[in-house]
Amino acid sequence: MMSESILQKDHPRILIPELCKLFFTNGWVTGTGGGISIKYNNQIFIAPSGVQKERMEPDDIFVQDMNGADIEVPPYEKNLSKSQCTPIFMCSYIERNAGAVIHIHSPELVKLCLLNPENELRISGLEMIKGIYNEEKGRFYDNDEEVIIPIIENSKYERDLVDTFQLALMKYPSTSAVVVRNHGMYVWGSDWKSAKTQCECYEYVFNIMVFKKINNL
Amino acid sequence: MMSESILQKDHPRILIPELCKLFFTNGWVTGTGGGISIKYNNQIFIAPSGVQKERMEPDDIFVQDMNGADIEVPPYEKNLSKSQCTPIFMCSYIERNAGAVIHIHSPELVKLCLLNPENELRISGLEMIKGIYNEEKGRFYDNDEEVIIPIIENSKYERDLVDTFQLALMKYPSTSAVVVRNHGMYVWGSDWKSAKTQCECYEYVFNIMVFKKINNL
Amino acid sequence: MMSESILQKDHPRILIPELCKLFFTNGWVTGTGGGISIKYNNQIFIAPSGVQKERMEPDDIFVQDMNGADIEVPPYEKNLSKSQCTPIFMCSYIERNAGAVIHIHSPELVKLCLLNPENELRISGLEMIKGIYNEEKGRFYDNDEEVIIPIIENSKYERDLVDTFQLALMKYPSTSAVVVRNHGMYVWGSDWKSAKTQCECYEYVFNIMVFKKINNL
Amino acid sequence: MMSESILQKDHPRILIPELCKLFFTNGWVTGTGGGISIKYNNQIFIAPSGVQKERMEPDDIFVQDMNGADIEVPPYEKNLSKSQCTPIFMCSYIERNAGAVIHIHSPELVKLCLLNPENELRISGLEMIKGIYNEEKGRFYDNDEEVIIPIIENSKYERDLVDTFQLALMKYPSTSAVVVRNHGMYVWGSDWKSAKTQCECYEYVFNIMVFKKINNL
């Protein structure tokens, strides 16, 4: 049941399907991969699990409060379940006061992980890091600074990532993203615009990093 | 003649043209290559042969029963013939109880074949294999398992692939796909969603596999 | 002035802008590059020169007869001139009885030229050559045959390519395409569908050829 | 407030959002990067700073005169600020009598910079340089000429690029573009069509140059 007004084009029930369609085109959420959550009027909107991300409809979205109690769920006959990323989404809301969290399966990032066995990514010397937010300093990076992003190891189930995700948040107070090796990335921001545009900046710099590594630059 | 109601957006006469347009954009069915078939109410819907896949219309689709007898055919003046993949489509329906079968000419896969002279592909260590269905075990793969996909040799005509295709099905009871070397792939699933999203997962992991092989990773 | 009825969606005044928009998305005609011509009711429709190919309008198209005499021209105030490819388009109509000719600036092909100093391209072992038409034999290639495409050297002006283009047609009676080194390609067919889908097949195999060459396969 | 009529589809308030959407699709202005300005009736239209370039609306655009005095600004509640590229846009209008200026964060160009430590790019031997305008000679390049594009070093803020940008204009009177290392490029032309199509030609040749360099061609 969708009780609230969704006339606004920036309402999560409109935005989430629209953004997922864009992310699908980007190659970030193909094969039902990835997910997204947006906080709105203190309610948490969450995309369903295991669906084609480019075909989502407004009433496919789950709504819960900050304690995880359901406020609205999709129609019963749609047989949908909440994103398996929910525990990590909530962790970003609680630990980082995020306004939106995006999970993507970027192939570019998986390639970068394959080239980088370390447990963090270090990026510098590119203009586009000016679009990445330093959560500790409360401002965007300068282009002469270094961005460090933690990599955590993948697990069998998304829910088993919560502990290492939380550790990464503590150890890297500046970061607005956590990479899951050979899997993808979680990115959050103060609102959906920040989460989305940071995703684009990360994707951009990962693409350049892969290029540098395979060409020994 | 199209007798049945096609008001539903998930009817094969609507879905097949729509999916083919998407696959064209993906680069999977350019140059009239590829094909698709969907089972619906125990009828088999099949795209026509040798047409521009992004310009298909609802009444271009052939409908036959499980024995191959025509139920509906496109208007005579359209001069269309049934997909040359039909024998392989039917083989997937009969041997694997598929709900839909997709044939794509993925360039990424052709590149992977060129790098891999073996008669199977082995994939592991990637999150996206969780979107691939293990037909033998009746569940999706875990991300710590290995997916093995058979490669059969190409033939002059699509119809001559049936025997080796059938052998591959017998030898690889887990697989939901058969690769045809330097040609493309057949992927099936319990319904069109499963066939399509598995296609996307295969394409994703093939892209990473090519990257690994050319960079000796 | 546009006198003829253009209600049909396959009329060249509708098709040419639509195809050019698609080719632009393919990266084949960016920067005003490339061109297209379609024969219709024995009239030759030709795109204008030096315009943004994705923004063409129905009345931007020139129409001439087989002798080159203008039948219809775009409105005077649009200040358009006929494609500089016109002499080569006409050569394909006259020498090969083409129904449509496409000129694209494929970057993939330019890369292949840079890797291949010879004056022809030889392609074999790929399913997609089944979509290429053998003009001499009057049938499509089998996938176990070899396709040979002539490469001619680039000239300062498009019009200066006519002589070598004509020589290539004579020397390669099978070919449905002529490559211009570090520049692009002319592809023709019995109608626009044949020219377009062959373009797609050539682009596909060129992409694989580049991959093979840079990886020594 | 938008006082002027924007009925024409080539009005900057229509064109700027439309072009930015296209550039976003090209990967040139993701993550709020890049910018664009168009001169129209002697007024300078400028996109806002730090916004999602694919979601711009007609009334998001700033209008100023050639002296930098505001003529029209976006609604107060939108909380927008003028593009940080404005000083460089104005420099192109004043020094080169440009009709439009485009700033893109092309990843292809960043890769080329990483491969090319020199302070200029030299391009030759490609047909597509015929779409690049030689500002000194007042004509397009021939395909047998060499195009030389200056590279300036990046700075912390866009505004600090003005001096070196101006020096590059003086030292390279032929150029219609200035590259900012590991950052992007400014391209201008006599009107928006010229700026845009030159952008496409530069992007095309940069892509080929990267290919040549990594393959030692």
ipTM of predicted assembly, 2 dp: 0.95
Distance in angstroms (rounded) separating the CA atoms of residues D92 and D89: 5
- Active-site residue A127, yes or no? yes
Contacts of D196 in chain C (CB under 8 A): 52
CA distance B190 to chain A (A): 15
Which uninterrupted H or E stretch holds B37? strand B35-40
Of A113, A71, A112, A63, whose CA–CA distance to A89 is shortest? Answer: A63
Q: pLDDT value at position B4?
A: 53
Averaged pLDDT, A101-126:
97
With contact defined as beta carbons under 8 Å apart, do A38 and A56 qualify?
A: no
Residues of C labelled as active-site residues: 127
Summary mean pLDDT of chain C: 95
In this model, does residue C203 exceed pLDDT 50? yes
Q: pLDDT value at position D157?
A: 87
Summary mean pLDDT of chain D: 95
Q: pLDDT value at position C3?
A: 52
> Cβ of C201 and B30 within 8 Å?
yes
Averaged pLDDT, D99-112:
98
Q: pLDDT value at position D3?
A: 52
pLDDT tens for D156-189 read 988 899 999 999 999 999 999 999 999 999 999 9
* pLDDT tier at A4, thresholds 50, 70, 90: low
Averaged pLDDT, C5-16:
82
> Cβ of D208 and C30 within 8 Å?
no
* pLDDT tier at B7, thresholds 50, 70, 90: low
Averaged pLDDT, C198-204:
98
Return the structure tokens found at D155: 């700075």
Q: Which one of B57, B127, B136, B153 is the catalytic residue?
A: B127
Share of chain B above pLDDT 90, in %: 94
CB-based burial label for D96 (10 Å; 0-12, 13-18, 19+): middle
| Cβ contacts of C57 within 8 Å, gap of 6 or more | C17
Which of B94-98, C154-158, D156-160: highest mean pLDDT? Answer: B94-98
Of C130, C133, C131, whose CA–CA distance to C142 is shortest? Answer: C130
CA distance B211 to chain C (A): 12
Strand, coil or helix: C8 = coil
In this model, does residue C7 exceed pLDDT 60? no
* pLDDT tier at A171, thresholds 50, 70, 90: very high
Chain D contact for C66 (CB, 8 A cutoff): no
Q: pLDDT value at position D2?
A: 55
pLDDT tens for A60-90 read 999 999 999 999 999 999 999 999 999 999 9
Contacts of B33 in chain C (CB under 8 A): 127-128, 131, 201, 204
CA distance A143 to chain D (A): 6
| Residues pairing with D35 in the sheet | D103
With contact defined as beta carbons under 8 Å apart, do B106 and B24 qualify?
A: no
Query: Which residue of chain A comes nearest to D49, CA vs CA?
Result: A131
Distance in angstroms (rounded) separating the CA atoms of residues B69 and B188: 22
> Cβ of B110 and C208 within 8 Å?
yes
In this model, does residue B119 exceed pLDDT 80? yes
For residue D54, CA distances in Å to A15, B132, D27 come to 14, 34, 11
For residue A53, CA distances in Å to A17, B38, B44, C90, C167 come to 7, 21, 27, 48, 53
Q: pLDDT value at position C9?
A: 80
> Cβ of C114 and D217 within 8 Å?
yes
Confirm or deny that C85 is annotated as ligand binding: yes
For residue A61, the one-letter residue type is I
CA distance D33 to chain A (A): 7
Averaged pLDDT, D139-162:
95
Query: Which residue of chain B comes nearest to A33, CA vs CA?
Result: B128
pLDDT tens for D2-30 read 555 555 788 999 999 999 999 999 999 99
Share of chain D above pLDDT 90, in %: 94
What pTM did the predictor assign?
A: 0.96
Strand, coil or helix: B3 = coil
Name the residue facing D107 among A193, A196, A204 (closest C-beta): A204
Chain C contact for B182 (CB, 8 A cutoff): yes
pLDDT tens for A193-202 read 999 999 999 9
In this model, does residue B2 exceed pLDDT 80? no
Return the structure tokens found at B167: 């052998």
Chain C contact for D37 (CB, 8 A cutoff): no
Of C163, C168, C174, whose CA–CA distance to C198 is shortest? Answer: C174
Return the structure tokens found at C216: 């020594």
Q: pLDDT value at position D112?
A: 98
Q: pLDDT value at position A1?
A: 47
In this model, does residue D89 exceed pLDDT 80? yes
Strand, coil or helix: C150 = strand
In this model, does residue B200 exceed pLDDT 60? yes
DSSP state of A35: E
Q: pLDDT value at position D4?
A: 53
Return the structure tokens found at D42: 């002697």
Distance in angstroms (rounded) separating the CA atoms of residues D186 and D91: 11
For residue C216, is it left (φ>0), alpha (ψ between -120 and 50) or beta? left
Which uninterrupted H or E stretch holds B110? helix B107-115
Return the structure tokens found at D200: 């496409």
Q: pLDDT value at position D78?
A: 95
Provide the 10 A C-beta neighbour count for residue C158: 22
List, as ranges, residues 135-174 from C with C-beta within 8 Å of D: 154, 156
Chain B contact for A57 (CB, 8 A cutoff): no
In this model, does residue C1 exceed pLDDT 80? no
pLDDT tens for B29-49 read 999 999 999 999 999 999 999
